[in-house]
Amino acid sequence: MSLVHEVDTVAAIATPPGEGGICVIRISGEKATEVTDRGFRGRQPLKESLSHTAHYGGFRDERGTILDYVVALVFRNPHSYTGEDTVEISCHGGYYVTKRILESLIRFGARLAEPGEFTKRAFLNGRLDLVQAEAVADLIRSRSDKAHQASLAQLEGLLSTKVVEVRDRLVQTMGLLELELDFAEDGYEFADKQRVANLLGESIQQINRLLSTYSVGKVYRNGVRVALVGSPNVGKSSLLNALLRQDRAIVTNIPGTTRDVIEESITIGGLLFSLSDTAGLRETTNPIEKEGVRRAEDKILNSDIVALILDGSRSLQQSEPDLIDRTIKSVEARGVKCIIAVNKIDIRPFVAEEFKDLEPVIAGHRMVGVSARTSEGIDKFEQALHETALTGGTDMAEGSVLITNLRHYSALERARNSLLLSEKTVEAGISSEFIAVDLRSALDSLGEVTGAVTTEDILNTIFSKFCIGK
């Protein structure tokens, strides 16, 4: 898609494919009503209809054959999602009907929309900024309460407002510095350097506060990957079933029952946790089990949290202290968080003192006793998962401003670094020309967040990740 605003009319199915009560087909562009009128027959042409009106009628193909009886909603520019004339056809859900109506619209003069094209047009028409446009995709993909809250806050413009506030103040300062450069020969000083230094310091603090929310924000947006690992028959699959409150994984007394990775998701405290039940870690000659062990080790490398499950029915010496030592050192080397869950406390009580010899290894890692069979301690294990996921940050109140997107974080970090250079230049008493160079870079980076400064490549990368019809 080009950065230049498209002028043709586009159409796409806006609802998921498959059978359902209703399907929505969206048409947007200068000729949206004209194109739709070629197939729609109601009491009056849509071209003559007012904005935000609904019309019932039949929809016919190019041969005049009736395809379905539909409701057509008309939205006039600029009061539509895209900021253009838009029609949304609600027809009966199903593969065939929706496909035929869309094919007819294309024959009538519309073009099939590209992924994210409707939202891109909304951005180009000033209906949304780039943060809000990305929030639309995040809202659609949200699978937990926290992900929903974070995306909705960004769609409402909370982050954009903060970024624009910082940028607007810096733009005013930039204007004074440039004015000073224009009259350099006359020796005028339009920008008081102490005020400039104070403004730069305040702006750096504001950006730092935003950057500090990313550790929590990315967890809200992306969820948490958890690998359940341990020796065979320690109860990893039973623990997965206990967390899910259903029998998802096969459980037997035979060690090595789990050969492949079983993945399921749960929500704890509004956060999405993707759980992976892995094969027991042990030396084996069985090629199938060996592949399962390899996949388990891969999961350890690619998880946010590793839950090391131990068999609490046996003493520590019988619970393979070497495995504990090896696993914890492995996850620490990669910066992965670890929780130790001592299972089967219904058979033998959990005694933390038994692990004193391993204190140097397990120090700093949460340890909880659980019983997958009776569900005793499951609530404490869930709490440990939630708190460990938010390590380095705190749960944010609803409506808080959060950085959830790596693109936003990177741009703000560049802006902060440029402002730090400007601040050093001011403190060194160097010419306004050099202050302005880094300040201009900071403004460009801040503009990248909201889309005030952007390129075609950035837009294509962002909107190509959207679904067709949005």
Domains delineated in the chain? 10-127 (3.30.1360.120), 136-213+402-451 (1.20.120.430), 223-389 (3.40.50.300)
Task: For residues 274 and 271, give the distance between their C-alpha atoms in angstroms, rounded to a whole number.
Answer: 10
The per-residue DSSP string of 140-152 comes to HH--SHHHHHHHH
* Closest to 271 measured CA to CA, from 339, 227, 225: 225
Give the residue carrying structure tokens 């946010």: 304
pLDDT at 248: 65
What pTM was computed for the model? Answer: 0.83
Q: How many CB atoms are located within 10 Å of the residue 267 CB?
A: 14
pLDDT at 3: 46
Task: For residues 407 and 221, give the distance between their C-alpha atoms in angstroms, rounded to a whole number.
Answer: 13
Task: For residues 102 and 362, give the distance between their C-alpha atoms in angstroms, rounded to a whole number.
Answer: 60
Which of 285-304 are b and which e, b meaning 16 or more Cβ less than 10 Å from the residue's Cβ?
eeeebeebbeebbebbeebb
Which of 415-439 are b and which e, b meaning 16 or more Cβ less than 10 Å from the residue's Cβ?
bbbbbbbbbebbeeeeebeebbebb
Half-sphere CA count of 300, side-chain side, radius 13 A: 25
In the sheet that holds 271-277, the strands lie side by side as 262-268, 271-277, 224-229, 305-311, 337-343, 366-369
Residue 445 contacts residue 418 (beta carbons within 8 Å): yes
pLDDT at 185: 54
Task: For residues 424 and 432, give the distance between their C-alpha atoms in angstroms, rounded to a whole number.
Answer: 12
* Tens digit of each residue's pLDDT, the chain (470 residues): 444 455 799 999 999 888 889 999 999 999 999 999 999 999 999 999 999 999 999 999 999 999 999 999 999 999 999 999 999 999 999 899 999 999 999 999 999 999 999 999 999 999 999 999 999 999 998 999 999 999 999 999 999 999 999 999 999 888 877 776 655 555 555 567 788 888 999 999 999 999 999 999 999 999 999 999 888 888 888 899 889 887 765 555 545 545 567 888 999 999 999 998 886 665 555 666 566 666 766 777 788 999 998 888 877 655 566 777 778 888 888 888 889 999 999 998 887 777 777 777 777 788 899 998 999 999 999 999 999 998 766 666 666 789 999 999 999 999 999 999 999 988 888 777 888 889 999 999 999 999 988 888 888 888 888 888 88
Task: For residues 103 and 112, give the distance between their C-alpha atoms in angstroms, rounded to a whole number.
Answer: 9
pLDDT at 399: 66
Strand partners, 75: 86
Residue 314 contacts residue 323 (beta carbons within 8 Å): no
Provide CB contacts within 8 A for 108, sequence distance 6+: 35, 36, 38, 39, 62
Half-sphere CA count of 62, side-chain side, radius 13 A: 10
Task: For residues 213 and 208, give the distance between their C-alpha atoms in angstroms, rounded to a whole number.
Answer: 9
Residue 356 contacts residue 367 (beta carbons within 8 Å): no
Task: For residues 57 and 410, give the distance between their C-alpha atoms in angstroms, rounded to a whole number.
Answer: 50
